């Protein structure tokens, strides 16, 4: 890390760079099939910008998940993780049947993204569940002490 910049400034700079890259890709004049790949890369840059924003918010000590939204998010993430498993199974099944290397290459890229998404979802659910258990343990200990 550069000495003259704070972590927050670096994160802000990175976020701006990702947004700039996304705009360049979005504005690409490409109109062939490659347009889909270019647009997908733009979405990845937007995703990175959002992740930098999450880090910025965490650095500013913004609450990660509020208590009122915790159960809703947990339920949504569990369902999404289950859906991701089905998507992965389908992609893997399709890859076994496809011989065109161009299509197979894109499927492999999608599969890698899906594996990563699934792992993130599982980690997110685990973190929320542990936090919930931690709150339950603290609440139980408090009640027990009454």
Of the listed ranges 13-17, 31-35, 134-138, the least confidently predicted one is 134-138
Could you tell me if 49 and 19 are in contact, meaning their C-beta atoms sit under 8 angstroms apart?
yes
Residue 101 has pLDDT above 90, yes or no: yes
The model's confidence at residue 41, banded by pLDDT at 50, 70 and 90, is: very high
User: How many other C-beta atoms lie within 10 A of the C-beta of residue 75?
Assistant: 11
Give me the chain's average pLDDT, please: 86
Which contacts qualify for 127-133: CB closer than 8 Å, 24 or more apart?
128/65, 128/70, 128/73, 128/74, 128/77, 129/74, 131/65, 131/70, 132/70, 132/74
More confident residue, 83 or 134: 83
pTM, 2 dp: 0.74
């Amino acid at each position: 890390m550069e000495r003259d910049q704070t972590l927050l400034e670096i994160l802000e700079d990175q976020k701006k760079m990702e947004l700039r890259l996304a705009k360049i890709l979005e504005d690409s004049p490409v109109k062939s099939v490659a347009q889909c790949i270019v647009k997908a890369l733009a979405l990845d840059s937007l995703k990175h910008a959002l992740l930098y924003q999450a880090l910025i918010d965490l650095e500013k000590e913004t609450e990660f998940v509020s208590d009122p939204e915790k159960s809703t998010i947990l339920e949504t993430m569990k369902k999404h993780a289950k859906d991701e498993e089905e998507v992965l199974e389908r992609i893997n099944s399709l890859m076994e049947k496809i011989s065109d290397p161009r299509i197979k290459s894109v499927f492999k890229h999608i599969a890698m993204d899906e594996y990563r998404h699934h792992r993130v979802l599982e980690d997110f659910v685990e973190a929320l569940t542990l936090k919930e258990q931690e709150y339950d343990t603290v609440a139980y200990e408090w009640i027990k002490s009454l």
